[in-house]
Amino acid sequence: MHKLIFLTLLSLLVFGCKKTIKERPINFLNENSLREITVKAINGERIYNDSLKDLIDYSLPLNSNFDTLKIEKINTPLNKTLFALLIEYPNPVYNRFAVYDSALHLILMDKSLNGKIGLKTFNLNNRQFIEIDESFLSKDILEISRVSLYRADSTVTLGFRAYTKFTTPTNEYYQIITEISPDRIKTNLTSIKRSFISDKSEIFTLDNNQKNSLSQDHIFINFIKKQVSGFKRVAEKPEITDQNSVLQSVGITKEADIIKATSNINSKSGYYITIDEGWKEIRNISLYGFANKLRGNKYYNPIMGTNIFIAQIPGKDSAEVFVKTRLLNVTRGIYRVRFTNKIEQRKFYVQYFEFSCGEKKYLMIFEASKYTYEKYKTTYQDIINSFVMEC
């Protein structure tokens, strides 16, 4: 059965030998040629995986036993040709969704998909969308479905992600999309047997900063979280809830774990963040120069010229108590995240994040060299998105 992943993994950097290999040129990309390249990458041919921008995580054991490999060609309203690629495995650690253009440039990659996955495209009001549908289990018998809508035009962005179905032994609950417009998505909530959510609705409004639609109420997701946490059953089948369980699912023991030395699972600090072996760590230092009253952990990469500081702050305080910059942007999901835009300070770009969940809050300060920022921008985004806190 499929497992539920709560932690989005950052693919580790893997360096090959220094032998120079001349890559076969791609004269014409179509569904068949992209499938051929992908299968070769799955089978361990690094040159093809390089061309796919590390679609396959070679830090995990090779696995060619995928359930589904689906590719769809998309012609956007701006006459741009894109290819949506989906790989589904029995073990969701290996699941991948990616979008490439006709020159095999990576547009988007999503490694967070779970369970049984469907891929389709549709056009609405002269706007092109990619729809990903997931269906998976929690605690062996609770069925959960989730939909993700990616808008495809000059680029591809995740515009909407929400749970659409939740099934328990005694009832079925649904979130049904009833309206999609340029500035909002409306849903209606219902259930087979009358329940707390019956006849309620949610409005997801477009966040121009994040380019996705956010709900102010979180009715359905909060309902599901409460139901799952209160469901008194010990899962018999293994569930993936942290990085150790990820490793166990692919047969890697903790002692033999190559990720152990390259990522930080800070259970004592109350959070998790995934980084590769190029990063170093210093614990319990003063965040001098940024937040003099705080002590926390520092992660730095001398090659990238990047520092990340993370410190817990009192739940009653805001980040502005410790830093001089106001965090004006807000996004809500599992956590409430407040953040600044990228700020230029001398030779660096700096960005501040405040993560809150329940009574816990963390301040993250991200500092990157201006000269390497664009080169490692995707890596930086993956690291920030990998942050998980214990609520």
pLDDT digits (tens, 9 = 90+) for 282-304: 888 777 666 657 888 888 887 78
Specify if 257 maps to a domain: no
pTM over 0.85: no
Residue 323: CATH number of its domain? 3.40.1000.10
Of 230, 253, 280, the one marking the end of a domain is 230
pLDDT at 332: 79
Give the H/E segment covering residue 97.
strand 96-101
- What is the number of residues in the chain? 391
Residue 337 lies in a domain: yes
Residue 354 falls inside a structural domain: yes
Say if residue 294 is in the same domain as residue 160. Answer: no
**Are 39 and 101 in the same domain?**
yes
14: in domain: no
Strand-pairing partners, residue 264, are 273
79 band by pLDDT with thresholds 50, 70 and 90: confident
Q: Is 214 within a domain?
A: yes
Q: Domain span at residue 196? A: 31-230
Total number of domains constituting the chain: 2
Tokens at 181, concatenated = 């417009």
pLDDT value at residue 283: 82
**Residues 105 and 169 occupy one common structural domain:** yes
The percentage of residues in the chain with a pLDDT greater than 90, rounded to a whole number, is 38
Whether residues 68 and 153 fall in one domain: yes
Alpha-carbon distance 327 to 14, whole Å?
35
Instruction: Say if residue 222 is in the same domain as residue 291.
Output: no
Domain identity same for 207 and 124: yes
255 occurs within a structural domain: no
Nearest in space to 378 (alpha carbons), one of 6, 89, 7, 13: 13
127 and 83 assigned to the same domain: yes
160-186: pLDDT as tens digits:
899 999 999 999 999 999 998 888 899
Instruction: Give yes or no for a contact between 63 and 43, defined as CB atoms under 8 angstroms apart.
Output: no
Any domain includes 157 = yes
Checking DSSP bridges between strand 96-101 and strand 106-110, what pairing results, if any? Answer: antiparallel
pLDDT at residue number 382: 83
List the alpha helices (DSSP H) in the chain: 31-42, 46-51, 219-230, 243-249, 377-385
Give yes or no: residues 41 and 120 share one domain.
yes
Residues 190 and 67 in one domain: yes
Residue 249 domain-assigned (yes or no)? no
Given this model, what pLDDT does residue 234 score? 63
Query: Residues 102, 148: one domain?
Result: yes
pLDDT-derived band of residue 27, with 50, 70 and 90 as boundaries?
low
**Based on the domain organization, do 284 and 182 belong to the same domain?**
no
Domain check: are 182 and 316 in the same one?
Answer: no
Residue 217 and residue 201: Cα distance in Å, rounded?
10
